Chain A
């Protein structure tokens, strides 16, 4: 376990203002346009990889693998939300690394304490609300890392990144019922883990 990631300013990355044009150029082989897209979405991809893998170096490797896959697949990109397309590629790259790590029992499991990201104080637009959110994010991230990998993967993909059950099932090569069960059990476990901080998310 290495440095914990920092919260990216502005919560989730919004699309680029002229994203459709940039995507078109990137799909036509314009490297500068592709770099611009990857630069813009790197925090989104890295965040997903880190949450799935719980390790900063592995997350960086997975994100870079995803960029490579995206570059190769760019010409066959057929529209849709670009961020979701890129996140699916990142999830696959991360899941590959996770599967390899699970096949090697010697690889250390992430330490939930060290794995908790140190989120900087949010901007003081509304200090009380922002501070509460930051505290909630910190506890949520730490609790996610305590979940068994199967449950964590399902909860992260479905609840944090909004993928549907079928997508998660296809990505993890699992039955639909198994995925649902993992998500439900994962959420119940999270609720137990966060019992002492209930007020943070039920507010």
Chain B
């Protein structure tokens, strides 16, 4: 609590600095001359100033670039610009990489989740059916590849399935391949997730490249 009779502390600080307006203030100086508390404040502030004026120089924590690099930069067409750019890149590097990685992760999850779901719910049973039905006769490899088409065709053709399997293998493989492509690529083309994944990866790669190019290596 400030006692009304005492001058404001800032006035005392001004007196301690020997500011002209404070030293010329007769009321202030006479109060300080007769008030032990205020006189102590002024003395302490004066001692504090002296201590501050006596603070030593401080040694850098790492060697500084003194001239060679500095003047090379100074002589460059855009002096200081490279340094400023490097500092800016250093500052934005971590947030950009984090954002890119997050984007890539979201894109990856978005891209793979529907495929995994389709794999678990649709393609796998069809593959198993085909494998079971063709296990009896067809020794030609490739049922796995031809699986989705093979399962339906075999059911329709009954005993002839084996012959059909052998004779029409190539055509059906192509057909099945086409079907397979359609199954896997159509949703992916419509989905935005691969683009998100690509953008995230591109952002990370771009940030890494920029840092590598712009920021000078320690050494």
Contacts and interface: CB of A to CB of B under 8 A. Distances in A.
Contact of A43 (B57, B66, B79): B57
Interface residues of A, number: 59
Contact of B80 (A2, A12, A68): A68
A31 interface: yes
Contacts of A34: 67, 71
A150 interface: no
Interface residues of B, number: 40
Nearest to A190: B48
Contact of B73 (A61, A68, A155): A68
B52 A38 contact: no
Interface in A99-152: 117, 133, 136-137, 140-141
B61 A4 contact: yes
A39 B63 CA distance: 10
A65 B56 contact: no
A141 B61 CA distance: 16
Contacts of A60: 60-62, 64
Contact of B48 (A12, A50, A133, A194): A194
Interface string B77-102: 00110010001000000000000000
A6 B58 contact: yes
A82 B187 CA distance: 72
Contacts of B62: 56, 60
A99 B203 CA distance: 30
A19 interface: no
Contacts of A190: 48, 52
Contacts of A13: 57
A46 B14 contact: no
A184 B17 contact: yes
Contacts of B66: 35, 38-39, 42, 67
Given A34-B67, A38-B67, A198 B44 contact: yes
Interface in B17-67: 17, 19, 41, 43-45, 47-62, 64-67
Contacts of B53: 159-160, 162
B10 interface: yes
B137 to A, nearest CB: 70
Nearest to B10: A184
A22 B13 CA distance: 41
Nearest to B21: A180
Given A31-B67, A71-B67, A162-B53, A43 B44 contact: no
A141 B47 CA distance: 16
A202 interface: yes
B48 A180 contact: no
A5 B59 contact: yes
A188 B53 CA distance: 16
A8 B49 contact: no
A44 interface: yes
Interface of B: 9-10, 13-14, 16-17, 19, 41, 43-45, 47-62, 64-68, 70-71, 73-74, 79-80, 83, 87
Given A117-B58, A198-B44, A201-B48, 16 more contacts: A5-B58, A5-B60, A7-B59, A8-B59, A34-B71, A35-B66, A43-B57, A47-B55, A56-B62, A67-B70, A68-B74, A71-B70, A72-B74, A188-B10, A191-B44, A202-B47
Interface of A: 2-8, 10-13, 31, 34-35, 38-39, 42-44, 46-47, 50-51, 56, 59-61, 63-65, 67-68, 71-72, 117, 133, 136-137, 140-141, 155, 159-160, 162, 180-181, 183-185, 187-188, 190-191, 194, 198, 200-203
5 smallest CB-CB distances across A and B, nearest first, come from A184-B13, A47-B58, A5-B58, A43-B57, A35-B67
